[in-house]
Amino acid sequence: MSPENSVHATHLTRKFGDFVAVDQISFDIPKGEIFGLLGPNGAGKTTTIRMLCGILTPTSGQAHVLGFDVARQAEQVKQRIGYMSQKFSLYNDLTVAENLGFYANLYGIPREKVKPRMTELIEMAGLRGHERQLTGDLSGAWRQRLALACAIVHEPPMLFLDEPTAGVDPVSRREFWEMIYTMAGRGVSVLATTHYMDEAEFCNVIGMMYRSRLIALNDPDSLKDAMQGVLFEVDCHEPGRAEQILKDFPAVQDMAAHGVILHVIMSDESEKALLEKVLQDNGIVVDRIEHVLPSLEDVFVSLVDHENRLRVRAEIE
């Protein structure tokens, strides 16, 4: 493992009986970088993060976190990382200050350092004035901030966040990611799992997971640049019927609905006229067809469709 990497995973695999939850994934996380593990529920993100935290033992493969083997040195890993789970490991019957104090003692922070560290974290999380409020009475966004403060009370160099913003409003999500950026700027490495495509834009590198496998690994811009074909945004009447028509049109490589707008991938920009013609020939009124840059959601949908086609082909053969 390079000393410049906080995480090094090689062919990491976890099985539960005959079910393969994580299938031979490999990646590195350099120090001070934010790594996003992106994918739908059930893709294997949480199992991956639990292996890296030393909570689950890998079935095969290897992973080192901060230089320690997650299978053989799980306790050393746990002592040196911060972990924020989906459900926020907070005590609702304790106040904000009591939760922070509990975690400070749990991580063995010297008594003389507890109070100044708590003051620093309350300021960072914007919780000043809420110190004596019961945690159970906090809103979801405030509980999220407190959970993060508790996870980093011992100043870990590596932070694992498992779906940290699930159920939190967009403004609070952005504020949360600003705190993550601040920590990364101080040299903290971060692995965050999410199924929010817009959040992945905040990451230095993204690993896209689907059906237990890592199907793409790169920075956001490179992933978009590598997407095959040309993306058209189609604004038309009867988008549902238009989608059904285009599914049977051979020139369409991939397609996804974004509300009432269709994103259609074709091989060449010159096929815009062909796309408009097939819709109009079927009685669809087209308001606009525009060549647009792909989003991470477009990239992910395209990759998933490709994976599914390969799987169906393998099953037939």
- What is the reported pLDDT for 2? 58
Residues 187 and 232 both lie in one domain? no
pLDDT tens track for 20-60: 999 999 999 999 999 999 998 899 999 999 999 999 999 99
Residues 139 and 56 both lie in one domain? yes
CA distances to 32, 37, 152, 242, 298 from 83, in Å = 16, 15, 8, 46, 30
- What is the reported pLDDT for 102? 94
Residues 16 and 78 both lie in one domain? yes
Orientation of helix 140-151 relative to helix 170-185, angle to 10°: 20
pLDDT tens track for 240-263: 999 999 988 888 988 889 889 999
pTM of the model: 0.87
How many whole angstroms separate alpha carbon 161 and alpha carbon 165? Answer: 9
Name the token pair of 110.
């010297």
Q: Which residue shows structure tokens 């640049």?
A: 225
How many whole angstroms separate alpha carbon 307 and alpha carbon 317? Answer: 15
pLDDT tens track for 120-141: 999 988 899 999 999 999 888 8
Band of the pLDDT at 170, cuts 50, 70, 90?
confident
- What is the reported pLDDT for 60? 97
Band of the pLDDT at 3, cuts 50, 70, 90?
low
CATH code of the domain covering residue 282: 3.30.70.100
Radius of gyration, CA atoms only, the chain: 23
Residues 241 and 171 both lie in one domain? no
Q: For the chain, what is the domain count?
A: 2
Residues 187 and 73 both lie in one domain? yes
The answer to whether the Cα torsion of 89, 94, 100, 103 is positive or negative is negative
Q: DSSP per residue over 48-68, as a string?
A: HHHHHTTSS--SEEEEEETTE
Residues 189 and 291 both lie in one domain? no
The average confidence (pLDDT) of the chain is 91
Higher pLDDT, 75 or 270: 75
Contact 24, 51 (CB under 8 A): no
CATH code of the domain covering residue 165: 3.40.50.300
Band of the pLDDT at 313, cuts 50, 70, 90?
confident
Q: What is the DSSP letter of 95?
A: B
Residues 22 and 129 both lie in one domain? yes
pLDDT at 175 over 90: no
Band of the pLDDT at 98, cuts 50, 70, 90?
very high
Residues 293 and 201 both lie in one domain? no
- What is the reported pLDDT for 1? 55
Residues 163 and 262 both lie in one domain? no
Residues 132 and 165 both lie in one domain? yes
As a dihedral over the C-alpha atoms of residue 237, residue 240, residue 241, residue 244, rounded to 10 degrees, the angle is 140
Domain boundary among 202, 218, 234: 218
pLDDT at 166 over 80: no
Domain boundary among 218, 246, 265: 218
- What is the reported pLDDT for 54? 95
Residues 173 and 291 both lie in one domain? no
Q: Which domain holds residue 256?
A: 225-316
- What is the reported pLDDT for 310? 77
Residues 149 and 177 both lie in one domain? yes
How many whole angstroms separate alpha carbon 290 and alpha carbon 274? Answer: 13
